[in-house]
């Protein structure tokens, strides 16, 4: 078999690449389960990516602190109201 440019495809390529054209559920139950799966899976994926980003940032800060031999300044929270006194 040859592709559009005339290059002969190997038997392995024909077997591996065949059959993945239409990957969508056709039944009503399959569609509903896919929607529920997406509604749960997409937020979990964003949560995972956010946590991994925070973890990698902390690792980079520690690495930079070790390399530069200077202690890095940690930022205070802007919403720290423990020592704040309200005056009338």
Q: What is the mean pLDDT of residues 21-42?
A: 91
Cα–Cα dist 36/63, whole Å: 41
- Split at pLDDT 50, 70, 90, the class of 20 is low
Percent residues over pLDDT 90 in the chain? 38
**What distance, in Å, lies between the first and last C-alpha atoms of the chain?**
86
Q: Where are the domains of the chain?
A: 24-68
Q: Mean pLDDT across the stretch 69-75? A: 62
Name the burial class of residue 46, with classes exposed (0-12), middle (13-18) and buried (19+) by CB atoms within 10 angstroms of its CB: exposed
Mean pLDDT of 49-62: 92
Given a contact cutoff of 8 angstroms between Cβ atoms, the answer to whether 1 and 8 are in contact is yes
pTM of the model: 0.50
* Whole-number Cα distances in Å, 59 to 9, 34, 50: 46, 36, 14
Sign of CA dihedral 44, 49, 50, 52: positive
**What pLDDT band is residue 63 in, cutting at 50, 70 and 90?**
confident
């Amino acid at each position: 078999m040859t592709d559009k440019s005339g290059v002969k495809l190997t038997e392995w390529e024909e077997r591996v690449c065949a059959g993945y054209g239409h990957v969508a559920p056709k039944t009503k139950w399959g569609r509903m389960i896919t929607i529920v799966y997406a509604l749960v899976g997409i937020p979990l994926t964003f949560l995972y990516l956010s946590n991994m980003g925070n973890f990698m940032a902390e690792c980079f800060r520690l690495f930079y602190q070790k390399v530069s031999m200077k202690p890095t300044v940690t930022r205070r929270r802007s919403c720290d109201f423990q020592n704040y006194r309200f005056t009338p």
